[in-house]
Structure 1
Amino acid sequence: MQKTVEATQRSFNTIRTGRANASLLDRVMVEYYGTPTPLKSLANINTPDASTITIQPYDRGSMNLIEKAISLSDIGLTPNNDGSTIRLNIPPLTSDRRKELVKMAAKMAEEGKVSIRNIRRDAIDSIRKQEKSGDVSEDEARDTQDSVQKLTDKYIQRIDQILAEKEKDILTI
């Protein structure tokens, strides 16, 4: 469940806020010598100011590949290539776009919650099997199921908390 919360947090990091953030490019994969490679292993990514991300490839031959991968990705930014550096200008978000991003964050949070609930279901099924086979008494099974439910509630609350922070970040102008 902790790993699910961390994965949801990483998903949230890929959502744009009003500021430039290098983690926006975490999911961008570049087709490098026929192999999908993460952008951060092919280039140095910096944020010199609040509205710009600069990408300096380690291999200048990969400039066009990186530019193409960014253009085809779902981040919605157009790369500007000056020969040695690729610049991504982060435009200010409109209120409609902010609402869209909040909906996207809510969808990611819901996926995290579903994943946590699936883990709970698997744990409870395992407890019931142990109870049927006689490894665990009925009272122990009930207590364990209650503790699994409490853990589930705790982690779902943590995802809600992270979502509230991300919504605040997105809606802050």
Structure 2
Amino acid sequence: MASSGTFNMHGLRACCPQTLCANPRGLCIARPAFRRSKLSIQSFRSTTNWSTDLQSYRRTHNRKRCHTLAATAETEITVEEDTMERMERSLESVTSNFASIRTGRATPTMLDRVKVDYYGAPTPLKTLAGISAPESTMLVVQPYDKSAMQAIEKAIMQSDIGATPSNDGNLIRINIPALTADRRKEMTKSVAKLGEDGKVSIRNVRREAMKQVDKHEKDGDISEDEKKSLADSIQELTDDYVKQIDKLAKAKQDELVKI
């Protein structure tokens, strides 16, 4: 019977010499010692991810998998990390969309969501032109490719920024009108819709993650208890990201109301 042994940075126990293990280096993972720590969003953003750490540990110690828990541990870590990465991307998209909604002076980010029909492909305007705000009520767009001038002008006119561009053949100037009460209401509704779209995206990630969890249990990669623990962690992530989106949406709406 294996002794208590020692623990590494992942909570995985190294076998003592008396452990019945085929690994010549005397390292394996003993199931009772493993406790999966839940990833926090803050630690995910600021530290090396767990999968990389685990792979590095294996390479450093040239360790073979000698118990099925190695696969179980990595499965849980991978599913949770993948879920967090995808939710983080959804949050970044929502944040970018909110930034494109003007609340005060004109800023280049107002045009972040504008897509131009460039050679038949919808292309972000910011990749086709330099955008500046020389005045608080004006944006200037300088296309890198002058042949795209008309397509850029058309895309701006069809966007939701509520301004008409002026094309002089070299530059496109956009005079940004002051926000009226009606326009503020429209933009507030737009913020609410973008927020809801973001939360739908987060929940879609959760649904896909749970499909992975169900499959891993069906394939025998994780136990029923491990499935429940992993499902709880995924739900916590979902709730955290939904709350962040709600907080961002409220801040943006408050900003619009106070103008």
TM bucket (normalised to shorter chain) is 0.7 to 0.9
Deviations 1:139-167 (A, max 9, x none): 11111111111111111111112112211
Is residue 84 of structure 1 aligned with residue 170 of structure 2?
Answer: yes
**1:44 paired residue number:** 130
For this pair of structures, how many residues does the alignment match?
Answer: 173
**Could you tell me how far apart the structure 1 residues matched to 2:252 and 2:179 are?**
15
**2:190 paired residue number:** 104
- Does the 8 Å contact 2:97/2:112 carry over to 1? no
Question: Would the alpha carbon gap of residues 53 and 116 (structure 1) be closer, same or farther in structure 2, given more than 3 Å must change?
Answer: same
Residue number among 133, 141, 155 corresponding to 2:219 in the alignment? 133
Note the residue ranges of structure 1 that are not aligned, 5 or more in a row. none
Question: Would the alpha carbon gap of residues 138 and 59 (structure 1) be closer, same or farther in structure 2, given more than 3 Å must change?
Answer: closer
**Could you tell me how far apart the structure 1 residues matched to 2:224 and 2:150 are?**
64
Higher relative contact order (CA 8 A, sep 6+): 1
Point out the structure with the larger helix share. 1
SS in structure 2 at match of 1:75: coil
TM-score, structure 2 as length reference? 0.60
Is residue 121 of structure 1 aligned with residue 214 of structure 2?
Answer: no
- With 103-112 and 73-82 compared, the bigger mean Cα shift is at 73-82
Matches within 5 A, 1:139-150: 139-150=225-236
Residue number among 15, 40, 47 corresponding to 2:101 in the alignment? 15
SS in structure 1 at match of 2:162: coil
Deviation at 1:70? 1.7
Note the residue ranges of structure 2 that are not aligned, 5 or more in a row. 1-86
Deviation at 1:34? 5.2
- With 103-112 and 10-19 compared, the bigger mean Cα shift is at 10-19
- With 3-12 and 118-127 compared, the bigger mean Cα shift is at 118-127
Question: Would the alpha carbon gap of residues 4 and 83 (structure 1) be closer, same or farther in structure 2, given more than 3 Å must change?
Answer: same
Deviations 1:111-156 (A, max 9, x none): 1111111111221222223223332222111111111111111111
Deviation at 1:60? 4.3
Alignment RMSD, CA only? 2.1
**2:154 paired residue number:** 68
- Does the 8 Å contact 2:113/2:124 carry over to 1? yes
Percent of counterpart pairs with the same letter? 53
